[in-house]
Structure 1
Amino acid sequence: MFLNFGYITGSDTLTRRESVIRITTGSQALDELLGGGIETLAVTEAFGEFRSGKTQLAHTLCVTTQISYARAFTYEHQYNLLLGLAAKMAEETFRLLIVDSVIAVFHVDFTGRGELADRQQKLAQMLSRLIKIAEEFNVAVYMTNQVMADPGGGVLLSDPKKTAGGHVLAHAATIRLMFRKGKGEQRVCKVFDAPNLPEAEAISFSFALLIYFMTFIVTCIIP
């Protein structure tokens, strides 16, 4: 386990960083953008509009490792799944945790401005659990997020959208990736915010080819 609740030295921090593992995304351009892939000891958030490639990347990450799947129907169910997963990680070695999407169940369970404060508090607890899992078990957390129209964006912005979850989610993510549609079936990934990566972008993959790849893999795994 990697979590330390006390003070550690700079040398200990360096040693800890040397244990970081980078998981390939299946795209050479995207791996180069991310310095080798999705890294452990960190929470990576991918956000963008519908069909921009967030979930497709999650699927690719799954098939480049192994598939262990659970579906959450409420925020409480999702939180309990994380608690159970932490116990499982204490017994077995895991390197990747995917949450697709981190905010969806909160949209179902909390509605209206009257429940916003409670929703943000529960979301913060969920994110805190994800951060702890990443740091305690040297796991890469990849979570997708949605974007929504920003009424205060104004007409001067070329794309007046903002990410769901507000600052609570934005501050919890170590690395933030913005996905958008490119030409034809291409999808573009931009490093929106990261402590150790420059702000840059790359054409990550072809959407059509990835769908074909996923169909082929699922067909092979599930007869």
Structure 2
Amino acid sequence: MISKFNGILRAVQFRLPPYKTLRSSTLILSSFGLSLSLSRFKRKPKMLSALKSEEASMQLVEREEIEDDELFEAIDKLIAQGINAGDVKKLQDAGIHTCNGLMMHTKKNLTGIKGLSEAKVDKICEAAEKIVNFGYMTGSDALLKRKSVVRITTGSQALDDLLGGGIETAAITEAFGEFRSGKTQLAHTLCVTTQLPTSMKGGNGKVAYIDTEGTFRPDRIVQIAERFGMDPGAVLDNIIYARAYTYEHQHNLLLGLAAKMSEEPFKILIVDSIIALFRVDFTGRGELADRQQKLAQMLSRIIKIAEEFNVAVYMTNQVISDPGGGMFISDPKKPAGGHVLAHAVTIRLSFRKGKGEQRVCKVFDAPNLPEGEAISF
């Protein structure tokens, strides 16, 4: 069934958590020391009618500018271009499920797939180029493409203002800081806010969560969902979670995401944290070069996921002591991962503890955001 709300609405097979009555009052998020007004979350009558359908299957409000399914082309469209179905199956088995993702791989990687010769790879790439445009575009076209970017609310007005609206899709947002600085709590909050409709500054999508430190707490998700007036069970059902124990396990989990994201409306990938397993599995300076190379390969995969499926990526990072820091530097700590990680992420946020329960977020680096801080988020 297709209904109307602020433009074009499209029915999506996705279990959206039903909303309880939201009072125009003040909600206290104790973990962040935040007073968040919910008055702006009042729903319009048309939206109420859309949200009051059966709990197991509800409609999502889709963006009018560019539909999500127009952002990537399924890999099986190669068959219409004369590519053998068996070769397409080999690509899918290798974790390539869209023509966009195919064009993000080198021919060297593709010829490494069992059963694909160099001649076959050339033919496949030529067919993919007829389906997707990976060449030049005008600045106007680039601007139009940027309109597909969704900014997902963090649950904090101060932090949203700092980030220009929230955590944006098709980009990697890194949050680094010491323990208890709020990084993981924000990850839990995003698990809930990502499922809000776009009219409530949400992402209308599911959540993929990779946990490398064992800090994911579903009971915390329940608390946050209840504070937002959402059904906790439905919220948890829309989160896929995996605990990674080695960097190789973490890499394999990322490879399996493409199949899920090509079939279901995911809107965020959370990795908490990106560097923890690398610091355990690679020790000493003798393994540093190998560690950084493996880290670069994983980050490249994450970047491709973000752009291929227009999902937000929120990853946490640890900090290390800066040997060059001294008494004249206010905070002699820097994010782990070195230049490899610094160049891969789009937006870097520095988290630190404030007074009492306050937390402070500072824009450390971003291509489109001015420097600034959000206090008591």
TM-score (structure 1 length as normaliser): 0.88
Aligned length: 205
Match of residue 183 from structure 2: 54
Residue 7 of structure 1 pairs with residue 136 of structure 2:
yes
1:165-180 superposed matches below 5 A = 165-180=337-352
Partner AA of 2:154 in structure 1: T
Match of residue 110 from structure 1: 282
Query: What SS does structure 1 have at the residue aligned with 2:269?
Result: strand
Partner AA of 2:270 in structure 1: I
Query: What SS does structure 1 have at the residue aligned with 2:297?
Result: helix
Residue 145 of structure 1 pairs with residue 320 of structure 2:
no
Query: What SS does structure 2 have at the residue aligned with 1:68?
Result: strand
Shift of 1:152: 2.0
* Residues 128-180 of structure 1: per-residue CA shift (max 9 Å, x gap): 01110110100100000000111221232111111100010011110010011
Shift of 1:204: 4.4
Match of residue 29 from structure 1: 158
For residues 155 and 28 of structure 1, the distance between their equivalents in structure 2, rounded to whole angstroms, comes to 35
Partner AA of 2:184 in structure 1: T
Q: Structure 1: where are the runs of 5+ without partners?
A: 206-223
Match of residue 183 from structure 1: 355
Match of residue 208 from structure 1: none
Among 302, 310, 320, which residue is 1:130 paired with?
302
For residues 170 and 257 of structure 2, the distance between their equivalents in structure 1, rounded to whole angstroms, comes to 16
For residues 277 and 134 of structure 2, the distance between their equivalents in structure 1, rounded to whole angstroms, comes to 31
Among 79, 91, 106, which residue is 2:263 paired with?
91
For residues 166 and 376 of structure 2, the distance between their equivalents in structure 1, rounded to whole angstroms, comes to 12
Query: What SS does structure 2 have at the residue aligned with 1:88?
Result: helix
Q: Structure 2: where are the runs of 5+ without partners?
A: 1-70, 73-99, 101-132, 196-237
* Residues 188-220 of structure 1: per-residue CA shift (max 9 Å, x gap): 111111111110011142xxxxxxxxxxxxxxx
For residues 109 and 87 of structure 1, the distance between their equivalents in structure 2, rounded to whole angstroms, comes to 27
How well do the aligned residues superpose, as a CA RMSD in angstroms? 1.2
Stretches of 4+ aligned residues off by more than 6 angstroms: none
Partner AA of 1:155 in structure 2: M
Match of residue 215 from structure 1: none
Shift of 1:88: 0.9
Residues 186 and 111 (structure 1), Cα distance of their counterparts in 2 relative to 1, 3 Å cut = same
Residue 74 of structure 1 pairs with residue 203 of structure 2:
no
Structure possessing the higher relative contact order (Cα contacts under 8 Å, 6 or more residues apart): 1
Match of residue 210 from structure 1: none
Query: What SS does structure 1 have at the residue aligned with 2:240?
Result: coil
Match of residue 145 from structure 2: 16
Partner AA of 1:25 in structure 2: T
Query: What SS does structure 1 have at the residue aligned with 2:279?
Result: helix
For residues 204 and 144 of structure 1, the distance between their equivalents in structure 2, rounded to whole angstroms, comes to 19
Query: What SS does structure 2 have at the residue aligned with 1:20?
Result: coil
Percent sequence identity over aligned pairs: 84
Structure number with greater Rg is: 2
TM-score (structure 2 length as normaliser): 0.53
Query: What SS does structure 2 have at the residue aligned with 1:195?
Result: coil
Partner AA of 1:107 in structure 2: R
For residues 261 and 134 of structure 2, the distance between their equivalents in structure 1, rounded to whole angstroms, comes to 19
Partner AA of 1:15 in structure 2: L
* Greater displacement, 1-10 / 124-133: 1-10
* Residues 109-132 of structure 1: per-residue CA shift (max 9 Å, x gap): 100000000000000001001110
